[in-house]
Amino acid sequence: MTDDARPSPDALLREAQREGRGTLKIFLGAAPGVGKTYEMLLEGAEKLEAGADVVIGIVETHGRKETEALVSPLPVIPRKTIDYKGQTLTEMDLDTVLERRPEIVLVDELAHTNAPGSRHPKRWQDIEELLAAGIDVMTTVNIQHVESLNDIVGSFTHVRVRETVPDKVFENAEIELIDLPPEDLIQAAGRRQGLRSRPGPPRA
């Protein structure tokens, strides 16, 4: 091997740092309601069918039948309950996922703020711990929650969001932009599954 063909010291260092770390795939919604959760669940089901050990850490279906139908084939880690000021809140059970050690875990809503009393204040921090443990993660987020884009998107949508995700979370992640209208996404999903598409758009 020639000197030119050898990896640089910096590249070797980055590779060593990544060794044993899980991979992150982010389904990035161009706007709310384009179907990022739906697409994440489709891919999770495909990987499960192909033999991968896939579980749902947490997914928000918001009662949408099309999304709920995609949850049913996948193993789900029960949520952790947290008592806060007389209310019972639920969050992803991070410790159970770590103990279960699946190959891939689906974790919806990357920008979510965890309930008080959780180990980490933000869900993206939960995901960082999963990745550090060598677990691959698939997650979802809308583009206006990206910290460096929040002001830009807000300037023309006139909507500002409080929950943002630091740009560093997106480094080395695989990004899939979801910008299809929901009706088109369902038709595409139907073709992928070899099934007739269901009526009504997913709105997650």
Mean pLDDT of 77-99: 95
pLDDT at residue 97, as a whole number? 98
Choice between 115 and 162, residue whose per-residue pLDDT is larger: 115
pLDDT at residue 57, as a whole number? 98
pLDDT at residue 2, as a whole number? 45
pLDDT at residue 137, as a whole number? 98
Name all domains of the chain by residue range, CATH numbers in brackets.
Answer: 27-193 (3.40.50.300)
pLDDT over 50 (residue 187)? yes
Predicted TM-score (pTM) of this structure = 0.76
Q: Residue type at 16? A: A
pLDDT over 80 (residue 101)? yes
pLDDT over 90 (residue 114)? yes
What are the helix and strand counts (H, E) for the chain? Answer: 7, 7
75, two tokens? 């193993």
Contact (CB, 8 A) for 38 and 189: yes
Contact (CB, 8 A) for 92 and 62: no
Contact (CB, 8 A) for 42 and 70: yes
Residues 36-50: pLDDT tens digits?
999 999 999 999 999
Residues 133-172: pLDDT tens digits?
999 999 999 887 675 555 444 444 445 556 778 888 988 8
Mean pLDDT of 171-184: 78
Q: Report the percentage of the chain scoring pLDDT > 90.
A: 53
